[in-house]
Structure 1
């Protein structure tokens, strides 16, 4: 094709091929830089939010045993151990956010002065390095060295110990046996069943249960007052409900909601966490029990898409409804069995759309059973 012919590309007739190529590359690079800048801004915003959340949790962490708001029986027992200088190896277990780490850190601050803390206390998170090397390395090195300028024992705090491999736990058992004279160990975990029996038998065990609303509300009100955050009455109830006795989670939800919306109400809390509102659950139940299958499926899928709801959260809320409604025993048993199967299948990673279909089908069969019994 010759230059200037009707089929010739338009830029060849102008003689500015290099100019247009350069312009295109310039625009591409400009767009690329803007994308990178946008990504950088998003990452910086995310880092700032995480930093804010972390600072709030640490800012209001109890500093002494008297500051802790729950588990007074456990605290009094540990306090007696400390006062009599007979602190054993400890195994603190229970759900997250219930005061396990705060308790042992408060004990450490009572046992050691600030200038001694760094040399007498070793705090590790076992989930960072789960293998045997963490036992053979920093733990063995710390436990095997004696202190010259201070009498008494050292303290090793091993958080998330249930993440350690079995080989690492067996190696830790030998270290505990060998250096009991000058080192005490405190293991912290969520799941006691993941700690080998040999370690359990060498420690005094304390279970930290979820915090009650009566204990959480005053502490949250203190934080709200200090941070000057607007929290409505239904917003406080939503914080308590969604945190499920986890104070750390309650503080994180409080801070996230305040940063996102400027106020903490029931609606903003549920929206921020992506949890279905009570009105959403009422609509879903109405569709499943009163609409045909196709209409119910379409409406629920649209609601899930618009609000970003997870089927697992919907299932949890519906489970509470099933227990509150006066279903016939046979119908309730059938429905709960089906819901348990759906929850299990969701946990192993099956398709949410298929499981939603199964949930709708279970409720429509339930509706037919109720009509038949009537």
Structure 2
């Protein structure tokens, strides 16, 4: 199974405690994991780039691959300058295996650093393989991309997140409700790391995984409150929708958290398809304005008015 549930002198973050150590225990992206399993079985590892959103298993996959390739020679979190690691370090490896250099957040490297890495990959191509994890593969320069097999990871599905959260709850004897787990999935948006961290934080603070507790810990507006605003907008009740928005804003939630939750709720809201698409467009435009610094209540109430306008019958305007 994944991780270890043995007690330690200090409490490990659950995201580390239950991090998979072999490829078959990784959740999601099954086809890509199968390709990595073939590499592990054959022992012939190419340079690889794994790209995708945060918290979906990119770094964990590389660590698991290294663990299966190197066996007892695997040493995690050894921090060395990679050039000296390649040229001078003496490492005992299984027959036919090469050194593995893991670079996390590789798309944050400057162009100059990537050019230096490209040259290093050329010089030590006979003794070392490079594994790069990044969010956006297009930020990696073409000369490095052409030397690597590129694997792309997708966000994890709700069912995949739910399965792992239930497993951790069983190991840690966590009391939960099904609605509480749904709240964790809602706030994580396919990010396993965030889901597990929120699970541990909620348990540490309240000992019960319920929707209210989860949203308190995550400091996000409750979707039920946001749904009431959307219902008022669909009924073209501008005053009620603005009052609800003002109440939500007055509770201390930031404009970015409010509009992010609004967007997530709209995607699964029961409404006509053309209305949903128009709502998404309007919310997206307001989201852009908020990111530019217009975070006032006026901006949010203006959004409400634009959403309500979609449901207003023009004949009632007496124009």
> What TM-score do the two structures reach when normalised by structure 1?
0.73
The structure showing larger relative contact order (alpha-carbon pairs under 8 Å, at least 6 residues apart) is 2
CA separation in 2, counterparts of 1:266 and 1:85?
A: 46
1:296-316 deviation per Cα after TM superposition (whole angstroms, max 9, x unaligned)? 434422222226353322431
Tell me the CA shift for residue 67 of structure 1.
1.9
> Match for residue 9 of structure 1?
none
- Change in 2 beyond 3 A, CA 1:67/1:363: closer
> Match for residue 98 of structure 1?
56
Structure holding more helix per residue: 1
> Match for residue 176 of structure 2?
231
Pairing of 1:14-93 with structure 2 (within 5 A): 55-93=13-51
Give the number of equivalent residue pairs.
303
Structure 2 residues without counterparts, runs of 5 or longer: 1-9
Tell me the CA shift for residue 250 of structure 1.
1.1
- Change in 2 beyond 3 A, CA 1:337/1:259: same
CA separation in 1, counterparts of 2:280 and 2:164?
A: 36
CA separation in 2, counterparts of 1:287 and 1:148?
A: 66
- Change in 2 beyond 3 A, CA 1:245/1:77: same
Query: Which structure has the bigger radius of gyration?
Result: 1
Tell me the CA shift for residue 148 of structure 1.
6.6
> Match for residue 81 of structure 2?
138
Conserved? CA contact 2:259–2:283, under 8 Å: no
- Change in 2 beyond 3 A, CA 1:221/1:141: same
CA separation in 2, counterparts of 1:339 and 1:313?
A: 9
- Change in 2 beyond 3 A, CA 1:360/1:213: closer
> What TM-score do the two structures reach when normalised by structure 2?
0.84
Pairing of 1:1-374 with structure 2 (within 5 A): 55-114=13-72, 116-118=73-75, 138-145=81-88, 147=90, 149-150=92-93, 152-288=97-233, 289-293=235-239, 296-306=241-251, 308=253, 310-320=257-267, 324-326=270-272, 329=274, 334-369=278-313
Tell me the CA shift for residue 340 of structure 1.
2.0
Structure 1 residues without counterparts, runs of 5 or longer: 1-50, 125-136
CA separation in 1, counterparts of 2:171 and 2:163?
A: 12
Tell me the CA shift for residue 350 of structure 1.
2.2
- Aligned alpha-carbon RMSD (Å): 2.7
